Structure 1
Amino acid sequence: MSWLDRVRNAIPFVAKRETPDNLWHKCKGCGQMVFVKELEDNQHVCPKCDHHDRIGPSLRFDYHFDEDSWTVLDSPRVAEDPLKFRDSKRYIDRLKAARVATGEQDAFVNAVGTIDGNRAVIGVQDFAFMGGSMGQAVGEAFVAGCEAAIAERAPYIVFTASGGARMQEGILSLMQMPRSTVAIEMLHDAGLPYIVVLTDPTSGGVMAAYAMLGDVQIAEPNATLAFTGRRVIENTIREKLPDDFQTSEYYRDHGLIDMVTHRRDLKETLGRLVAYLTPVKQAA
């Protein structure tokens, strides 16, 4: 036995302390490590730089509905993989993987509940589900959300987060753009408001459709909002774009949206809008 082995064996063994992997979160905005509990208590907004993390439907419902007031609506069923699409993987396999990862049927979920005591329907697009891409299921869910709002005589509030249309469904995904526009007109015909909250990122066909058709347009801070990519635009017009181009603040400053609202203030803002815009129900 060498002297090194003798020294090593003489050192008392101390078991390695197990540390959970989910205690810390690296902020995508500032790169700092943030205690997960602190991040959750701050509605998934970085306490150091105010970066708004992407969150899914259940957290959106928790943050913006009154406590224990909301119920998730059933998602409409559509034909899966209508084009039998395959690239490096089969489309049906991508759907299965996304459902396992998110626990959702597709990228758009509706719920009905109250905001400061007033009825409202909220639809949330989940970027974690195939980039929040818009296919037939998303289009059907959006239409179902509009119909639920009409049945409830309540506003429809949509949180958008999407990379655009779902390429695996081809023209069927693009058909959801006019369908969603017609559904919004149904809301207007019923005298009900349609409120949009743009979150990071919202782009492509979704940006060209229901994301920019709100009666009131709100955005979370520093969200990327675009129809097409910055580099494509610069190559097309052969000009350098401003550093803040395609951000919430740029859209607000140029009159494309109404306001930029911090996540902690969103429920209060939505509560005021719902109370002000909701039709007064006539007594029986």
Structure 2
Amino acid sequence: MVEPMNWISEVVRPKIKTLFKRETPENLWVKCPDTGQMVFHKEVEGNHWVIPGSEHHLKMSAQARLKMMFDEGTWIDVPLPEVAADPLKFRDEKRYADRLKDARAKTGMPDAFKIGFGRVGGLPMTLAAQDFAFMAGSLGMAAGEAFVRGAETALDKRTPYILFSASGGARMQEGILSLMQMPRTTVAIRRLRAAKLPYIVVLTNPTTGGVTASYAMLGDVHLAEPGALICFAGPRVIEQTIREKLPDGFQRSEYLFAHGMIDQVVHRHALKETITRLCGLPHPPAAQAGDGLL
């Protein structure tokens, strides 16, 4: 026997629900990590990922970094070398090849670095940005090759080289091959220094591990965004090792500035002006006309 359909619950109610249903995007709001304040996603994005009011600096993609810095948001992408995707055939809970595939689908990037060449404040510059969303911005063979290619571009074009660091350190899935990128990037920086080309580092949240122990702390000038964690080993690891309570703000950019480890803490909105001013100081001849600048 077929039960009669209840037209009020089966017909009328679904139509009413559909009529008044609103699709709410999942990323409509952003919550401030400091204050818990809820802010419209578009408002935060339009403010270069700085929370209005609290001024908390959120993580920023490499693409957004370059767009913020280059004049009119346009630049030439520097082609990056291809490297062996999984040289050690590494596997933990998941195959390294699968982790790379997921990170590339998530970010639209081949690896953690994006390099651009263009004008900043009217001056030709080569910019390198690490994207923390790509496996925590970790340093592996591809990232090392990218950094070196950026340095080679700056040498070829006779421009300053600007790095925006954001990393959890060396990429464990590549073992010793990852650690070898530390001396390789150091050699590239020595070549910039020999050519008397400025190398400026902007330390963003977080910059840790082998990246801090190599190219992130070898700049001619070290700038840092407010509140950025900058360290080799994190505060939790240090507290567990020495079994003592660390000072407030330990390893944050303001603490490092107060103790002479970095040169200046600069708000994200003032980075372009600050870097332009630094690069406008007397330096070797700039790139010549017809060098491919936009």
Q: What are the superposed Cα offsets for residues 31-90 of structure 1, whole Å, 9 maximum, x if unpaired?
A: 221111211221110003111111111111111111154111111111111000001111
Q: Which of 253, 273, 281 in structure 2 is aligned with 1:276?
A: 281
Identity within the alignment, % = 57
After TM superposition, the score normalised by the length of structure 2 is 0.90
Shift of 1:263: 0.5
**What is aligned with 1:211?**
216
**What is aligned with 1:189?**
194
Would you say how many aligned residue pairs link Structure 1 and Structure 2?
Answer: 282
SS in 1 for 2:166: strand
What are the ranges of 5 or more consecutive residues in structure 2 without an aligned counterpart? 1-6, 290-294
**What is aligned with 2:158?**
153
What are the ranges of 5 or more consecutive residues in structure 1 without an aligned counterpart? none
Runs of 4+ in 1 over 6 A off after TM superposition: 5-12
Q: In the aligned structure 2, how far is the partner of 1:59 from the partner of 1:104?
A: 13
**What is aligned with 1:87?**
92
Is 1:30 matched with 2:2?
Answer: no
CA pair 281-168 structure 1, distance change in 2 beyond 3 A: closer
Shift of 1:6: 7.4
Q: Which of 61, 64, 72 in structure 1 is aligned with 2:66?
A: 61
CA pair 68-230 structure 1, distance change in 2 beyond 3 A: closer
Q: In the aligned structure 1, how far is the partner of 2:91 from the partner of 2:241?
A: 31
Q: What are the superposed Cα offsets for residues 94-123 of structure 1, whole Å, 9 maximum, x if unpaired?
A: 000000000000001110011111110000
User: Given that residues 159 and 287 in structure 2 are in contact (C-alpha distance below 8 angstroms), is that contact kept between their aligned partners in structure 1?
Assistant: no
Q: How does 1:21-170 map to 2 (within 5 A)?
A: 21-170=26-175
Structure 2 counterpart of 1:72, one-letter code: D
Structure 2 counterpart of 1:30, one-letter code: T
**What is aligned with 2:3?**
none
**What is aligned with 1:259?**
264
Q: What are the superposed Cα offsets for residues 105-152 of structure 1, whole Å, 9 maximum, x if unpaired?
A: 000111001111111000001100000000000100011010000011
User: Given that residues 154 and 278 in structure 1 are in contact (C-alpha distance below 8 angstroms), is that contact kept between their aligned partners in structure 2?
Assistant: no
Shift of 1:202: 0.5
Structure 2 counterpart of 1:243, one-letter code: D
Q: In the aligned structure 1, how far is the partner of 2:282 from the partner of 2:219?
A: 13
Is 1:173 matched with 2:178?
Answer: yes
Q: In the aligned structure 2, how far is the partner of 1:103 from the partner of 1:28?
A: 26
After TM superposition, the score normalised by the length of structure 1 is 0.93
